[in-house]
C-alpha cells in the first residue's frame, strides 16, 4: 500500500476536522472577552447571562480543539518524518513556542476561568479570560508562521540539503504570515458571528412561539415575561444583544476576510502563481476572471488544462484582482508549468527517498477541480454567511424575529456557512501548494533552493498499513465525537441562558439562597 496517499488523506482529514473547532474557539473566545468585559464595566445582567451561556458553548467546543490538536503535534513526526528532518530546524521552533508561550497560557487560565467563578476576585477572573483568549490568538500566529513557511519559505538557507534557519525575525514576519493571520482571525470571527446570530434567532423565535414576546401594529417588539427568571425581560435583552452583535460581527468579519483575502491572492500570484492559476482554471495568460469554467473529461477521468472552457468570464477582473489594473495579463498554467519544469525538473530524482515514485514525472498542476471549486466555495460560503447576517439584521431591526419556522430553520443553517468557508479555504490553500510540502519561490522574493516535494516528505520506515490503521481509527473516533459534540451543543443551545446559569430555573422563593451559594459548594464542578 502506498503510504503517501494514505498519509495525505490522514493529514487532510485530521487537520480539516481540527479546524472545525479552532475558529469557533478563537472567534467565540474574543466575543466572550467582550461580553464579560461589558458585564464588568456596566454591571448589566444580560451580559453576565451571555457570558455564562456562551461560555458553556465555548467549553463544549474548546475541549475538542484541545484533544484533536494533540494529533497535529505528533503526526509530523509519525507520518512525515522526512519532512520533519528537512524543516525541523525552522519549523519546529514556532511549534515549540506555540506550546510554551500560547498553549500554557490558554490552558492554565481557561482552568482558572472555568473554576474561578466566585473563587477569585471578578477583576482577576476577567483577566484570566483575557489571558486565555490571548493565548489562543497567539497560538494562531505561531502555527500560521509554520504554515506560511510552507507556502513561502523565508529566513532559511539550504545546508546539507536541509532548511536551516538563519533569520528568526524573517520567519516570524513572513509577509505571507502577515496577511494569513488577519484572514484567519476574521474567518474565526465570521464563525462566531453566525453562531451568535443563528442561536439568538432561535431563542427570539422561541419566545415568540411561546407567546412571551409579541409585536405591535408597526411590527415593533413588545417584550414580555413568564415571571420566571429564565424567560424574563433580561433573557430577551441577552438574546437581542447576541443577535445584534452576531450580525455585525459576521458582516465586519466577512469584509475583513475579503480585504485580507484580496491581499493574499495578490501575494499568491507572486509567490505561488500556479496555485492561483489553478484556482482560476486559467490555462492561458489573460485578464479575465472566470465565474464559471467547465471541463470536458478525457479518457482516464482527469481534467487536463486544454479541456477547460470558460463559460462566463468577466474581462479585466482577474488582472484587477492580481495587479489592481485591468490590462496586465496574469500568467496561466500553460506558461507557468514550463517555468517550474525548468527550475525543478520534469521528473523526480532517482533517489530512494522517493520510494516507488523515484524517477516518475512530476505533476506540477494541483488537482484543479479541488483548487477551482475550493476557492469558489470558500468565497460563496463566506458571502452567504454575510448576506444571511445582513438580511437577518434587517428582518430583526424591530427588535425580534418573525414567528416563522422556515426562516428559523434557515437561521440554523446559516451557522454552518462560515465553517464551510473555513474548511474549503484551507483545502484550497493546502491542495494548491501541491506537489510541494515547502513550496519554492519562483520569483525568488523568498529563499532560493529550499523546497521539498510531498513525495519526499512521508516517513520512509512506516508502512501504508500502519497509517491506514490510524486513519481509520482516528476517523471513526472523530466521527463519533462530532456527533457527541453536536448533540451537546444543541442541548445547551436549546437550554438557553439557564444552561449556563442553572440558578435561573430555581423557584422564586429560593432566590436569595441561590444567588449566594454557600461558600462550601463549588460554583462550578465537572
List the interface residues with other proteins, window 469-488 (CB under 8 A): 469-470, 473-474, 477, 481, 484, 488
Phi, psi torsion values for 265, nearest 5 degrees: -65, -40
CA distance linking residue 151 with residue 452, whole number of Å: 11
Which of 21/348 has CB closer to other proteins? 21
Which of 159/314 has CB closer to other proteins? 159
Return the H-helix or E-strand segment holding 289.
strand 289-295
**DSSP line for 214-229:** EE-TTS-EE----SSG
Smallest distance from the beta carbon of 155 to other proteins, in angstroms? 10
Q: Among 91-99, 174-182, 307-315, 403-411, which window interacts with other proteins (CB under 8 A)?
A: 91-99
Which of 87/337 has CB closer to other proteins? 87
Q: Which member of 13, 16, 34, 101 binds other proteins (CB under 8 A)?
A: 101
Which residues ranging from 308 to 327 are in contact with other proteins (CB under 8 A)? none
Residue that is written with C-alpha cell 490590462 in the block: 327
CA distance linking residue 288 with residue 311, whole number of Å: 12
User: What grid cell was written down for 99?
Assistant: 506550546
Which of 394/524 has CB closer to other proteins? 524
* C-alpha neighbours within 13 Å on the C-beta side of residue 485: 22
Smallest distance from the beta carbon of 287 to other proteins, in angstroms? 44
Which residues ranging from 230 to 249 are in contact with other proteins (CB under 8 A)? 230-231
Other residues' Cβ atoms within 10 Å of the Cβ of residue 501: 21
Smallest distance from the beta carbon of 499 to other proteins, in angstroms? 5
Q: Which member of 97, 253, 283, 417 binds other proteins (CB under 8 A)?
A: 97
- What distances in angstroms separate CA 81 from CA 86, 160, 163, 281, 466, one per listed residue? 8, 17, 14, 33, 14
Q: How many chain residues are in contact with other proteins, going by CB under 8 A?
A: 89
68 three-state secondary structure? helix
Which residues ranging from 110 to 129 are in contact with other proteins (CB under 8 A)? 110-112, 114-116, 119-120
Q: Give residue 115's Cα distance to chain centre.
A: 28
Which residues ranging from 142 to 201 are in contact with other proteins (CB under 8 A)? 159, 164-166, 168
Q: Which member of 5, 233, 465, 511 binds other proteins (CB under 8 A)?
A: 465
Which residues ranging from 265 to 294 are in contact with other proteins (CB under 8 A)? none
Contact string (CB under 8 A) for other proteins, positions 55-84, x = contact: ----xx-xxx-xxxxxx-xx-xxxx-xx-x
Q: Residue 93, interface with other proteins (CB under 8 A)?
A: yes
Contact string (CB under 8 A) for other proteins, positions 413-452, x = contact: ----------------------------------------
Which of 71/191 has CB closer to other proteins? 71
Q: Residue 34, interface with other proteins (CB under 8 A)?
A: no
Smallest distance from the beta carbon of 259 to other proteins, in angstroms? 32
Contact 260/68 with Cβ under 8 angstroms?
Answer: no
Q: Which member of 460, 483, 510, 511 binds other proteins (CB under 8 A)?
A: 460
What contacts 220, CB < 8 A, 6 or more positions away?
398, 399
Q: Give residue 501's Cα distance to chain centre.
A: 29
Instruction: Determine whether 407 is exposed, middle or buried from the number of CB atoms within 10 Å of its CB (0-12, 13-18, 19+).
Output: middle
CA distance linking residue 328 with residue 316, whole number of Å: 9
Smallest distance from the beta carbon of 119 to other proteins, in angstroms? 7
Amino acid at each position: 500500500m502506498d503510504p503517501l496517499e494514505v498519509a495525505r488523506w490522514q493529514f487532510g482529514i485530521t487537520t480539516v476536522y481540527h479546524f472545525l473547532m479552532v475558529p469557533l474557539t478563537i472567534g467565540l473566545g474574543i466575543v466572550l472577552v467582550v461580553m464579560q468585559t461589558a458585564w464588568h464595566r456596566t454591571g448589566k445582567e444580560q451580559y453576565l447571562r451571555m457570558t455564562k451561556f456562551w461560555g458553556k458553548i465555548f467549553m463544549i467546543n474548546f475541549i475538542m480543539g484541545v484533544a484533536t490538536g494533540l494529533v497535529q503535534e505528533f503526526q509530523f513526526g509519525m507520518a512525515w518524518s522526512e519532512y520533519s528532518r528537512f524543516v525541523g530546524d525552522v519549523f519546529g521552533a514556532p511549534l515549540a513556542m506555540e506550546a510554551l508561550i500560547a498553549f500554557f497560557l490558554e490552558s492554565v487560565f481557561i482552568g482558572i476561568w472555568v473554576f474561578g467563578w466566585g473563587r477569585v476576585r471578578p477583576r482577576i477572573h476577567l483577566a484570566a479570560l483575557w489571558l486565555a483568549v490571548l493565548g489562543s490568538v497567539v497560538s494562531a500566529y505561531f502555527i500560521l508562521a509554520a504554515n506560511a513557511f510552507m507556502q513561502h519559505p523565508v529566513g532559511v538557507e539550504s545546508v546539507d540539503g536541509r532548511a536551516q534557519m538563519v533569520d528568526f525575525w524573517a520567519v516570524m514576519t513572513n509577509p505571507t504570515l502577515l496577511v494569513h493571520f488577519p484572514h484567519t482571525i476574521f474567518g474565526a470571527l465570521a464563525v462566531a458571528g453566525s453562531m451568535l446570530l443563528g442561536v439568538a434567532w432561535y431563542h427570539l423565535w422561541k419566545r415568540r412561539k411561546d407567546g412571551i414576546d409579541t409585536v405591535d401594529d408597526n411590527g415593533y417588539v413588545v417584550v414580555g415575561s413568564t415571571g420566571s427568571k429564565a424567560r424574563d425581560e433580561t433573557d430577551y435583552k441577552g438574546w437581542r444583544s447576541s443577535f445584534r452583535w452576531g450580525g455585525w460581527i459576521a458582516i465586519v468579519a466577512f469584509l475583513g476576510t475579503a480585504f485580507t483575502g484580496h491581499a493574499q491572492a495578490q501575494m499568491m500570484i507572486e509567490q505561488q502563481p500556479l496555485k492561483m492559476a489553478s484556482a482560476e482554471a486559467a490555462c492561458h495568460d489573460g485578464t479575465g476572471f472566470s465565474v464559471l469554467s467547465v471541463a470536458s473529461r478525457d479518457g482516464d477521468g482527469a481534467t487536463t488544462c486544454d479541456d477547460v472552457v470558460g463559460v462566463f468570464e468577466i474581462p479585466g477582473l482577474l488582472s484587477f484582482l492580481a495587479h489592481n489594473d485591468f490590462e496586465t495579463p496574469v500568467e496561466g498554467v500553460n506558461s507557468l508549468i514550463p517555468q517550474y519544469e525548468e527550475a525543478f525538473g520534469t521528473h523526480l530524482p532517482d533517489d530512494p527517498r522517493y520510494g516507488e515514485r523515484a524517477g516518475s514525472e512530476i505533476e506540477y498542476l494541483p488537482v484543479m477541480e479541488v483548487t477551482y471549486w475550493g476557492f469558489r466555495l470558500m468565497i460563496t460560503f463566506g458571502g452567504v454567511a454575510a448576506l444571511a447576517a445582513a438580511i437577518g439584521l434587517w428582518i430583526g431591526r424591530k427588535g425580534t424575529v418573525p414567528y416563522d419556522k422556515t426562516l428559523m430553520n434557515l437561521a440554523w443553517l446559516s451557522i454552518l456557512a462560515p465553517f464551510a468557508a473555513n474548511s474549503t479555504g484551507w483545502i484550497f490553500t493546502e491542495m494548491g501548494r501541491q506537489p510541494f510540502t515547502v513550496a519554492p519561490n519562483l520569483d525568488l522574493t523568498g529563499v532560493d533552493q529550499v523546497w521539498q516535494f510531498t513525495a519526499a516528505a512521508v516517513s520512509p520506515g512506516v508502512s501504508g498499513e500502519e497509517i491506514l490503521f490510524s486513519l481509520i481509527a482516528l476517523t471513526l473516533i472523530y466521527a463519533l465525537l462530532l456527533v457527541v459534540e453536536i448533540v451537546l451543543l444543541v442541548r445547551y443551545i436549546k437550554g438557553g441562558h439557564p444552561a449556563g446559569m442553572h440558578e435561573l430555573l430555581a423557584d422564586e422563593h429560593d432566590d436569595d439562597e441561590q444567588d449566594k451559594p454557600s461558600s462550601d459548594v463549588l460554583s462550578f464542578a465537572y
